[in-house]
Amino acid sequence: MTATLTPLPGLAVLRASGAQATDLLQAQLTQGLVGLAPDAVRPAALCSPQGRMLADFTVWQDAAGGWALALDATLAEAMMRRLRMFILRLKCSVDDARAERPCWGLLLRNGALPEALPLRSLPPPWALQRAQGLCAIRLPDAPGVQRVLLVTEDDAGRAAAQALQQALPAADDWELQAVRAGMPHLVDATSGQFVPQMVNFELIGGVDFKKGCYPGQEVVARTEYRGSVKRRAHRVLGAVPMQAGDALYHDADPAQPCGMVVNAAAAGDGWEALAEIKNALLEQPGALHLREASGAALRVADLPYALPT
């Protein structure tokens, strides 16, 4: 199976439009958007004043003007309301665009593009191309797998996506490949739990440390420049189902949780997850366990990028 296409109803798209939409997002997100190239895509987060991530976004310039922000559907309504709180006198709006911008996940395993895809080449990671009403967003690869988020932007794009769906098989490993790519993805159960560095968000380019202030910026910057990142996200493997928000325990300190599952997916006969874990405990003898100190054992696996020492 060299290419698969999967509908992503769990992904929602918000649109920030108007003359000052960039000003709004520049002041609220961890990512700098001023001067961004039209074909550029960026990860970004909206944080609480305490520096905890409320949601993560994939952000790009919308074909109709303004910005598009893809996030988990469980957080869409709350994040739309939160962004609207800060509009005040700015000339812009934030709206739910999921009905007009359905999303699909395209996975490629040998580099060859399907004939039904109206693109002749892929953009590099964190960039986009448009063709026939489809916006193709290249996300960071998983090992051996290229990941492309397809967003339909008009009737022609919806027709192109339907034609592609008829030509390609569906698959259920879109979330698994995100885990293997080391890409954190927040849902309702994990909103407000992590400072960006705890889930490696700055390592995938989700934090611009040179931009101006945003909610939580002091905490995020202090964590970075004082070198006080005591927790990191790791890929973990297990034999039993895992889900976002599950607690992790370690034999070296079984009385209290040492981490939390960020996102997880089935992988053949087992499960894989990206999990935030206390760094010091991973250096201690003993095993990780799921949900309780006597729970199913987990083991730590490699990520496709290096973690700071």
Domain ranges for the chain, please list them: 3-180, 230-309
230-309 has which fold? Elongation Factor Tu (Ef-tu); domain 3 (2.40.30)
Q: What percent of the chain has pLDDT over 90?
A: 91
Q: What average pLDDT does the segment 123-147 reach?
A: 96
Of the listed ranges 82-86, 88-92, 111-115, 299-303, the one predicted with least confidence: 111-115
Write down the pTM of the prediction: 0.95
Separation of alpha carbons 33 and 37, rounded Å: 9
Separation of alpha carbons 182 and 199, rounded Å: 9
Query: Band of the pLDDT at 50, cuts 50, 70, 90?
Result: very high
Nearest of 130, 167, 132 to residue 149 by alpha carbon: 130
Q: Is the pLDDT of residue 197 over 70?
A: yes
Strand 53-61 and strand 231-238: pairing? unpaired
Q: Is the pLDDT of residue 64 over 90?
A: no
How far the first Cα of the chain sits from its last, in Å, is: 38
Nearest of 81, 266, 237, 261 to residue 189 by alpha carbon: 261
Q: Is the pLDDT of residue 277 over 80?
A: yes
Separation of alpha carbons 287 and 293, rounded Å: 10
Query: Band of the pLDDT at 226, cuts 50, 70, 90?
Result: confident
Query: Band of the pLDDT at 1, cuts 50, 70, 90?
Result: low
What value does the mean pLDDT of the chain take? 95
CATH of 3-180, one of 3.90.1150.10, 1.20.1630.10, 3.40.50.300, 3.30.1360.120: 3.30.1360.120
